[in-house]
Amino acid sequence: MDYILDEMNELGADGVDFVPISEQLAQSNFTFCMPIESYNKEEWIKGVGAYPKSGRLYWKMVDGKKVYCNK
Protein backbone atom coordinates (compact mmCIF):
# COMPACT_ATOMS: atom_id res chain seq x y z
CA MET A 1 0.00 0.00 0.00
CA ASP A 2 1.42 3.37 -1.00
CA TYR A 3 -0.15 6.04 1.17
CA ILE A 4 1.75 8.88 -0.54
CA LEU A 5 0.27 7.87 -3.89
CA ASP A 6 -3.12 7.51 -2.18
CA GLU A 7 -2.84 11.05 -0.80
CA MET A 8 -1.79 12.38 -4.23
CA ASN A 9 -4.86 10.76 -5.78
CA GLU A 10 -7.15 12.02 -3.01
CA LEU A 11 -5.94 15.61 -3.51
CA GLY A 12 -5.74 15.39 -7.29
CA ALA A 13 -2.05 16.30 -6.98
CA ASP A 14 0.53 16.02 -9.74
CA GLY A 15 3.45 15.47 -7.37
CA VAL A 16 4.98 15.71 -3.93
CA ASP A 17 7.76 17.80 -2.39
CA PHE A 18 9.54 16.55 0.70
CA VAL A 19 10.46 19.57 2.83
CA PRO A 20 11.96 20.15 6.28
CA ILE A 21 9.22 19.83 8.87
CA SER A 22 9.99 23.30 10.23
CA GLU A 23 9.51 24.77 6.76
CA GLN A 24 6.25 22.89 6.26
CA LEU A 25 4.89 24.33 9.50
CA ALA A 26 6.16 27.86 8.79
CA GLN A 27 4.65 28.16 5.32
CA SER A 28 1.12 29.44 5.66
CA ASN A 29 0.43 29.75 1.94
CA PHE A 30 3.17 27.45 0.58
CA THR A 31 4.12 29.89 -2.17
CA PHE A 32 7.82 29.22 -1.65
CA CYS A 33 9.60 26.24 -0.22
CA MET A 34 12.97 24.54 -0.58
CA PRO A 35 12.27 20.85 -1.18
CA ILE A 36 14.70 18.16 -0.11
CA GLU A 37 13.31 15.95 -2.88
CA SER A 38 10.57 16.49 -5.44
CA TYR A 39 8.77 13.86 -7.51
CA ASN A 40 5.96 14.06 -10.00
CA LYS A 41 3.29 11.38 -9.92
CA GLU A 42 4.81 9.36 -12.78
CA GLU A 43 8.24 9.29 -11.10
CA TRP A 44 6.68 8.19 -7.82
CA ILE A 45 4.69 5.40 -9.51
CA LYS A 46 7.83 4.14 -11.28
CA GLY A 47 9.51 3.91 -7.90
CA VAL A 48 12.48 6.18 -8.61
CA GLY A 49 11.85 8.14 -5.43
CA ALA A 50 13.09 7.71 -1.91
CA TYR A 51 10.99 8.61 1.08
CA PRO A 52 12.92 11.10 3.23
CA LYS A 53 11.84 11.44 6.85
CA SER A 54 10.47 14.94 6.47
CA GLY A 55 7.33 16.93 5.92
CA ARG A 56 5.63 16.69 2.55
CA LEU A 57 3.62 19.06 0.44
CA TYR A 58 1.51 17.97 -2.51
CA TRP A 59 1.30 20.14 -5.61
CA LYS A 60 -0.52 20.61 -8.90
CA MET A 61 0.76 22.27 -12.05
CA VAL A 62 -1.43 25.28 -12.89
CA ASP A 63 -0.50 27.37 -15.93
CA GLY A 64 3.02 25.93 -15.82
CA LYS A 65 3.54 26.78 -12.13
CA LYS A 66 3.68 24.56 -9.08
CA VAL A 67 0.75 25.31 -6.76
CA TYR A 68 0.59 23.57 -3.39
CA CYS A 69 -2.56 21.72 -2.33
CA ASN A 70 -4.09 22.13 1.10
CA LYS A 71 -4.55 18.92 3.06
Edge-to-edge strands, sheet with 37-40: 37-40, 15-19, 55-62, 65-68
More confident residue, 64 or 25: 64
Q: What is the mean predicted confidence (pLDDT) over 56-60?
A: 91
pLDDT band of residue 43 (cuts 50, 70, 90) is very high
This prediction's pTM: 0.79
pLDDT band of residue 5 (cuts 50, 70, 90) is very high
| Structural domain boundaries in the chain | 3-68
Positive or negative: CA dihedral 43, 57, 23, 31 = positive
pLDDT band of residue 44 (cuts 50, 70, 90) is very high
Asked if residue 47 has pLDDT above 60, the reply is yes
